[in-house]
Each structure stands twice: as C-alpha cells, then as structure tokens.
Structure 1
Amino acid sequence: MPPVCRKCRAKVQFPLIIIMQNLMQIMLSIMQAACTVLEILQSSQNQFFLLDQLHDSLSVIPFLATAAWRAGSPAPRSCWTYPGRSDWFHNVVLKLWDERLWLENFRMSRQTLFEIADELRPYLLRQDTVMRSAIPVEERIAIGVYYLSHKSCYRKLADIFSKGISSIASVVIEFCLAMEHKLLHKEVKLTDYHKVIAGFQRLGFPNCIGAIDCTHIPIICPKVQQAQYFNHKSFHSVVLQAACDADGVFFSILAGHPGVAHDAQVFRSSLLCKQMEAGTFVPGNPLMHYGGVSIPPVLIADGAYPLCRWLMKPYPNPITERERNFNKVFNRCRNVVERAFRRLKSRFRRLSDRMAVHVQNINSVIAAAVILHNICERKNHILPEGEGDSTSNEDFENDVPVVEDAGRVEGEGESVRNALADYIYNHNNV
C-alpha cells in the first residue's frame, strides 16, 4: 500500500491500540476456555480428531494477537546511541576526579577545559532530536582533548565515552576544525615582541625574535602520493614548522607539507618568511646597531635553513674562540624550540603516533594540538614528571643537508652573524 504520513497514521491508530488490547483480552479468554474443553476431551472417544482440529485453531491465535498488536502500535524507534556502560564523563570525571587526574588525562585543569567550551560553544552546540540527545559541548571538548592527549583509536574512545565510533570520529574532527577557526589567530601569534626579545636576551642572544625548526608528524600511509609523504627517517609524515619564544610558546606554525619536503623549502613557502623578508612581522622592525652593522630582529635556526640578514644559523666549522662562543650561545637559544616540540608531543601524544585522519584534516588536528599546547603553557599546566623530555619518532637531530645561500643574501647574513658574534663575545654572554 502507498506510504502514509506518520503523523496522520498516529492520529488514526490511537483508538486502534485500545481496540486491539480489548481483542487480545478476548483471545486470552478463548484460550482459557479451550483449555477447559481439552480436559473434557481427554476422556472422549473422538479426542484425537477433535484435539487436532482444536490445535489447528488455537495455533493461529498467538499470531493473530501479535499481528494485531503490531498493527496498532507505532513503529519501534531506531537506537542511535551506543549501548555501552554508564556515562563515564558526567558520572565519574565531572563528579569524582581531582585536578591531578584532570592534568594526567586531559593535560589541563577542569576550569581550562570549561573555558575552551565557552569559547567554542557557538561552533559546537547541537540541538536535541527525536532520535537522540545531543552531546553536550563540554563533553565534545573532552572527547577532542582526550583524543589528542592519548594514542587511543576511535574504537577505544567510543568505549570510554559510551558513544558510537562514527560519532566519536565526527566529534574529534569538528572540535579540531572549530579550534583552528576560532582560536588559532588568538592563541598562536606574536604578542609583546619586547618580552620575546628580552627573553632571548636573558639567554645571551640579542635582538632575537624567535627560534624556528621543523618536526615530522607521523601519519598512516595515504592512498595517493605515498612517496611524497615518505620522509628521510623512513616513515610517512607531514611537516610541522613552528617558531616559538624563549618560553616555548609557539607564535607561528605551518603544517601540511609532505614528509619529503626539506626544511628550507617549507620555510620559503611560509607567510613568516615573506613577512620577515619585508620587515613587517615585528612592528616597527626595530634595528640594533653594533660595529657599524644594522641588525634587524632575527630568527635562529639550524643548518638546514638558509643564512640571511634576519635568519641566523651557527658557524658550520667554528675555528676561533669567538665563533665557538657564538655557537654555544646560539645552540642554547635554539634548543628552546626543540624542547617546545618535545613538550608538545609529550603533552599531546597523538602527534607522536600515526594518525588515522584524512590528509585534508591533518592540518586542523595539528593546529588544535598547538593551540592547546600554548594555552597549557600560558596557564602553567605542568606535565606529569618524566613526560616532557622524551617522545617517539624524535627528529631533532641535525641530520638534514646544510643549506648555504650564495651571493648578496649570504653576504648580508654573514655580516650580521659576525656582528652578533662580536657582541656576544664582548659581553661575555656564555
């Protein structure tokens, strides 16, 4: 028969339910009477014939009753929620956990997570439907943060949070996209450049605006361009370039280049490179004058990066005491970005394990982790003891080819480096 509007059918079927219930009561009475007849027939000469006839008649009654009840009842609702254990997040985490457990499992305090929830509420709030209740925003944040903080797969998270696997996957990606869209430019930016320069000055390096480096984020082998994502360390990855201040807070990131890309190639394609070249990244581009050389705000990097007037790297083969002294101070300052990467990957372990995420979403996942890292660093959420110094698939060794730019750019960079070496040597900043 043709489809019938559910609402209309419900109005018609409501009295049918009462009728069918009464019909079932009548059928039950008939069955009770039939049982009495059976007892009488047990002594009858024609009991076998009559028993067969009665059995055939009675056998139809349960099927008629079932069909009648189904015809008068609305269709059963589909179950859209995961039939798992009790609600762990609301009944255990929110009610029983102290700050230590929050920091161990979510890498942040309860207050910080709820502050993030308030920021992202307009982007993550969902309405309840007739099929299921929407996942609260706070729990959505918790699912996303827990995913980044651990190496658990979607299936494991589905069991922990009593949700379906597909729901968990959607919540994680929606959370990361919202973090990137709403908080990236708020949390990952150069704030007070005077404080940044002062921070590196305390470490012995003058007029330094940040330390920059690249790290590899492992991924599952993609379906396309597999060779492009296979890096020199023999695993598939995307490259994360990041620059940080002396406290290890990132102010510039670029993620998504395939693992085969060289650090210098990634850097040249970045907005940071273009802004530093134009002298617009640091407001006013304040110059430091020493030994007749004008020194702009500089970034410090390892030997994989090119040398120019605003990008410093160590002397490749230091000979004099002045050059060795420069390299010592230089490496002490550059190590802040290596330690920042270690804390990032230790705090959010998902970045140290192969991510089963579509390539088009990996950048957002990485960005979300960096944003959360900055929030935790600024709020002084300390990592559990022993977690901030080691991580798997570490790639901070200087085993990539050294790049030396020729011509005017290298000449200008050499002049600035020599002036900085003189300043550091004369001021005994070792």
Structure 2
Amino acid sequence: MRKVVFHKLCAELRSRALLEETFHVTIEEQVAMFIHVVGHNWSNRPIAFEFMRSGETVSRYFNLVLDALCILARDLVCIKSIDTHQQITSSHGRFHPYFQGCIGALDGTHIPACVPMHMQDRFRGRKKFPSQNVLAAVDFDLRFLYVLAGWEGSAHDSYVLQDALSRTNGLKIPEGKYFLADAGYAARPGVLPPYRGTRYHLKEYKGTREPENPKELFNLRHSSLRTTIERAFGALKNRFRIFKCQPFFPLKTQVKIVMACCALHNWIIEDGPNVYVYDDAAWYEALPRSVRNHTDMHQENLAWAKKRDDTAKMMWEDKVGQTVP
C-alpha cells in the first residue's frame, strides 16, 4: 500500500466517523497497527514494542479498526458494473461474443482457521489443518464482488454457494448475467461451469495438444478466463500474511478479518476511490426469490446446460470455419 493510498483510507474512515482519534492515538496509528497484524502477521507483543503501546491498547484498536473496515466493506465489496469486461470484448473470436454477459468468476478457497478442539473435525477438510471454506466472486480486474466466510472446511463448495444465494443479503446475480465456476458446481442460472470429464486445465493443452471437439474448445477458453479467481486468491494471500497460518483469534473475529482484508484489497486496487455504488442501485436487484418447485429449478438448470452446449458448438463451428481454406 502506497502512502497516499494509506492516508486516503484514513481520511475516509475519519470522514465517515468509523474511527475516532484519542488524545494519545491517532487514526493513522490505529490503522497502521491493524495493517501490521494482517499484512505482516505480527503478534500483539512486537506491535506493542514497535508502537510503544500496551498490549491492551493494541488489541482494543485492532478490533475497532476491524469493525470499521467491515462496515466500509459494504461499499467496497459489491458489484459496481454489469457491463461485459474489456478483457472479453477486446478478444473477438476467442472470448467474444461467446462469453457475452459474463461479469466475473467465483470459487471457494480454504484459509487456515483456529477453532476449539471439539470443532476441529468439522473444519478439517481436504487440507491437513482446520480451515474455513471462503466463497468469493471476483471481476476481471481482480476486485472482490462478494465474499462469504465462516463455513467449515469440510463443507462442499456447492453447499456454500447455495447458502450465499439463499441469504437475504447474499450473492445477487443480475438477471441475464453470470459467473464462471469450476466443475465442482452445477450449471444453474447465473453460474456457468465447464464440462466434466473433459480436458480443462491449461497445462493439459500445452504444446501441440489442440482441442479436438467443441467441449474441449469451450473448456480451454473457459479455463483461460476463470484463472482470474485463482489470481485474486493468490494476490490476497500474498498481500496479507495472516492467511498463511492459523490466527489466534476467536472464530467470529477470523471471519471478520477475511472480509476486512478483501475490502483493503479492493481499496488498494481502486487506489482509494471517492465515489461508491450502493446496494440500492436499480440494476442490483436479485433474481426473483419466489418459491419454486423442483421441476421449475430443474428446467432452469437444463436451460443453462443447453446455453453451454450452444456456446461450445458456436465456438467450434467458428474455429473450423477459420481453418477451412
């Protein structure tokens, strides 16, 4: 984080009255102590020594800044545009017009969690350590659009997504738009996964191994776009060292830390914007949440699977047409 971005963040927290200066501790010092914890994974004692404060002071202001950033995250971690990104529109013939309407990618990642002994079985999934399964949606600028933290590491990604879509303040996918997802998710309105049982990862197409059918061609281009979510997770974990090991905080605090760090990540990318888009924007309405039976939901899922088939067929026909003299 550059100095100008840091001071702009402090000014924003001050102007919104999310933090208050005291006689001894300024807002800049409060935020600096917080960043040392999440950015460098410093414990309470070295921060108290570095800033010449008591351990109680460091702990108190850490929680105050954490709560302030979680409030600020409501404006930072959200969908700000539903236009098709330039990365798609500028690649005509490869991504456009096949992925018209795609606004980003979503996936889950595992972040180390420190939980009581009686809860460790639920939080121990495919990792060797207890973790929380964090669902996130990002755009092609690596900005986080939605984050849901706190799920046990043993929870399947599809269950976490279902929870995110069913919440009142959960993930709201604008009508006609969708996110790319991996094969762990099913095709459904707003979510477009690749074909299962077909070559997908980019390393499988190295060298002269060209796609041999429409499904492989679709998976190759799908994978090229969906790597955005992996890059976003990598940038987040490299930027905030606290995610490299199990933090010694209560579980509720660990969930807040994930949200606060995603908000800081967006703030750094945007270089501290002055204009925000709030959740009450007209286009940011959720899909109708009326009670539907399983038959209707099944038909919608089939429709999205057909959309994927049509897109793959179109890609293949265009590719074959270009190779024929």
Band of TM-score, shorter chain: 0.7 to 0.9
CA distance in 1, matches of 2:166, 2:270: 22
Q: Are 1:357 and 2:245 counterparts?
A: no
CA distance in 2, matches of 1:167, 1:210: 41
CA distance in 1, matches of 2:319, 2:178: 20
Superposed CA deviations along residues 57-93 of structure 1, whole A, max 9, x for unmatched, are xxxxxxxxxxxxxxxxxxxxxxxxxxxxxxxxxxxxx
CA distance in 2, matches of 1:146, 1:213: 28
Q: Are 1:144 and 2:34 counterparts?
A: yes
The alpha-carbon distance between structure 1 residues 223 and 276, as it changes in their structure 2 partners (threshold 3 A), is closer
CA distance in 2, matches of 1:123, 1:189: 19
Taking only the aligned residue pairs, the percentage that are identical comes to 24
The alpha-carbon distance between structure 1 residues 299 and 275, as it changes in their structure 2 partners (threshold 3 A), is farther
Contact 2:115 2:251 in 1 (8 A): no
Aligned pairs for 1:123-202 (under 5 A) are: 123-128=18-23, 133=24, 135-181=25-71, 183-196=72-85, 198-202=86-90
Aligned pairs for 1:301-320 (under 5 A) are: 301-318=181-198
CA distance in 1, matches of 2:242, 2:121: 23
The one-letter code of the counterpart of 1:379 is D
Contact 1:301 1:313 in 2 (8 A): yes
> Structure 2 residue aligned with 1:369, among 253, 257, 261?
261
Q: TM-score, normalization: structure 2?
A: 0.78
Q: Give the match for residue 7 of structure 2.
A: 114
| Structure showing greater relative contact order (alpha-carbon pairs closer than 8 Å, 6 or more residues apart) | 2
Superposed CA deviations along residues 323-354 of structure 1, whole A, max 9, x for unmatched, are 11100000011110001000011011112221
The one-letter code of the counterpart of 1:374 is N
Q: Are 1:270 and 2:158 counterparts?
A: no
TM superposition shift of 1:125: 1.1
Specify the structure having the higher radius of gyration (Cα): 1
C-alpha RMSD of matched pairs (Å): 2.6
CA distance in 2, matches of 1:195, 1:162: 50
Contact 1:298 1:309 in 2 (8 A): yes
Equivalent position SS for 2:83: helix
Contact 1:200 1:246 in 2 (8 A): no
The one-letter code of the counterpart of 2:159 is Q
Q: Identify the range of structure 1 (417-426 vs 110-119) with the bigger mean alpha-carbon deviation.
A: 417-426
Equivalent position SS for 2:249: coil
Q: Give the match for residue 223 of structure 2.
A: 331
CA distance in 2, matches of 1:222, 1:199: 44
CA distance in 2, matches of 1:264, 1:368: 24
CA distance in 2, matches of 1:148, 1:217: 13
Equivalent position SS for 2:197: coil
Equivalent position SS for 2:184: coil
Contact 2:187 2:304 in 1 (8 A): yes
CA distance in 1, matches of 2:36, 2:170: 36
CA distance in 2, matches of 1:187, 1:137: 20
Q: TM-score, normalization: structure 1?
A: 0.60
Q: Give the match for residue 18 of structure 1.
A: none
Q: Give the match for residue 130 of structure 2.
A: 236
> Structure 1 residue aligned with 2:311, among 417, 420, 429?
420
CA distance in 2, matches of 1:207, 1:166: 50
TM superposition shift of 1:373: 0.6
TM superposition shift of 1:428: 4.5
The alpha-carbon distance between structure 1 residues 307 and 242, as it changes in their structure 2 partners (threshold 3 A), is same
Contact 1:201 1:208 in 2 (8 A): no
The alpha-carbon distance between structure 1 residues 410 and 170, as it changes in their structure 2 partners (threshold 3 A), is same
TM superposition shift of 1:408: 3.2
TM superposition shift of 1:146: 1.8
TM superposition shift of 1:249: 0.9
The one-letter code of the counterpart of 2:312 is A
